[in-house]
Structure 1
Amino acid sequence: MTAPPILHTDRLILRAHAVADYPACQALWADRQVVRHIGGSPQDAQAVWFRLLRYAGMWSLLGYGMWVIEDRATGALLGEAGLLSAARGLPELDAVPEAGWVLGRQGWGQGIATEAMAAILRWADAHLDAPAIRCIIEPDHDASIRVAEKLGFVPLRDATLGAKPIRLFERHRALL
């Protein structure tokens, strides 16, 4: 697979990133409030550009990756969600897709991350040969922990990534 399929939910369109998304992605990843639990540092223009290129590469090489979360009603880019392989050096993430999501402030508190990731996990259960999917969340990021729990993720263990504490979560493949 070289490009993500387009997924639809009641409120969202999940689609491939495009070059035209670069300004919106740049604004998303430059927002200190957005990244405070995702590495903690805003990303510069080059880092965001390389991020978009990595997204395309994951689809090309792995058959899974990240989607743009687009508001069906307005077309606005609300965030990103999907599956990744980030070579983080954590053995629990080796050879297992890692779920990830990020929303701009306009999408907070509306169930957008849960809705997007539920569609992605349904797609993964039907198309990937992965017995489990894992994710990492900072222990004090209550909103993302609630999303993970709603999606069926359970705590696996606490660890550190760099010097920051994280919690690993796991979700087993749903039987279709």
Structure 2
Amino acid sequence: MVIPTLETERTLLRAHRPDDFEDYARMWAEPEVVRFIGGNARTRAESWIRILRHAGMWHMLGFGFWAIEEKASGRFIGEAGFHDVKREMTPSIDGLPEAGWSLVPDMHGRGLATEVVTAVLAWGDRALPGRRQVCVIEPAHQASIRVARKCGFDDPVEAQFEGKTLLLFERPTVAP
């Protein structure tokens, strides 16, 4: 499968590449990045497996995560997209495209997440018509909750995952 490239005003969303790895591993080792996403920095090996998982997701499911490249500099600044990671969560979201996004710390607070997630969801509406789209956010992650609400996710319900309470958001389904 050819992974589509999306363009926003300030970014390119493209397939992850091997040369993204060092920046990718550095991002996922940042306490500020992982604080609300599991809370633990990822090892280099975990980051490598995650990049490979993204590539495989596209080929197995027809959706996945994109690397986010800043147009002005050409540098890797994060990732966003959909995944299905088979979490044992209540309520279950197994089989649903789950939206997610992460940016390197120096890109936080610039409106980039909303810009990127808007493009990801527009792609999802075209490529996955009629599919429920969800996102899962830790209740304390107010910045991501704001992004989710701006992008049409609303009325979260509480979800349980690994002994933690998370917020499960859903967007209205776009008819095919």
Q: Same fold (TM over 0.5)?
A: yes
DSSP 3-state at the match of 1:4:
coil
- Name stretches of at least 5 consecutive residues in structure 1 with no aligned partner: none
Please give the TM-score of this superposition, normalised by the length of structure 2: 0.95
Once the two structures are TM-superposed, the CA of residue 95 in structure 1 deviates from its matched residue by 1.9
DSSP 3-state at the match of 2:92:
helix
- Name stretches of at least 5 consecutive residues in structure 2 with no aligned partner: none
DSSP 3-state at the match of 1:160:
strand
Tell me: CA distance 1:103–1:53, structure 2 relative to 1, closer, same or farther (3 Å): same
DSSP 3-state at the match of 2:28:
helix
- Paired residue type of 1:128: L
Distance 2:119 2:44 in 1: 29
Kindly report structure 1 stretches of 4+ aligned residues shifted beyond 6 Å.
none
Question: Are 1:26 and 2:25 matched, yes or no?
Answer: yes
Distance 1:39 1:96 in 2: 20
Question: Are 1:101 and 2:140 matched, yes or no?
Answer: no
Once the two structures are TM-superposed, the CA of residue 165 in structure 1 deviates from its matched residue by 1.9
Distance 1:174 1:163 in 2: 33
Equivalent residue runs for 1:23-172 within 5 Å: 23-90=22-89, 91-172=91-172
* CA deviation string 1:126-171 (max 9, x = no partner): 1114432001000010000000000000133112211222100001
* Contact 1:96–1:130 (CA under 8 A) maintained in structure 2: no
Aligned twin of 1:14: 13
* Contact 2:86–2:95 (CA under 8 A) maintained in structure 1: no
Distance 1:37 1:130 in 2: 30
Q: Is 56-65 or 93-102 further displaced after alignment? A: 93-102
* CA deviation string 1:8-38 (max 9, x = no partner): 0111100000000000000000001110000
- Give me the CA root mean square deviation: 1.3
- Tell me how many residue pairs correspond in the alignment: 175
* Contact 2:130–2:175 (CA under 8 A) maintained in structure 1: no
Once the two structures are TM-superposed, the CA of residue 175 in structure 1 deviates from its matched residue by 5.2
Once the two structures are TM-superposed, the CA of residue 106 in structure 1 deviates from its matched residue by 1.4
Distance 2:49 2:94 in 1: 22
Aligned twin of 2:173: 173
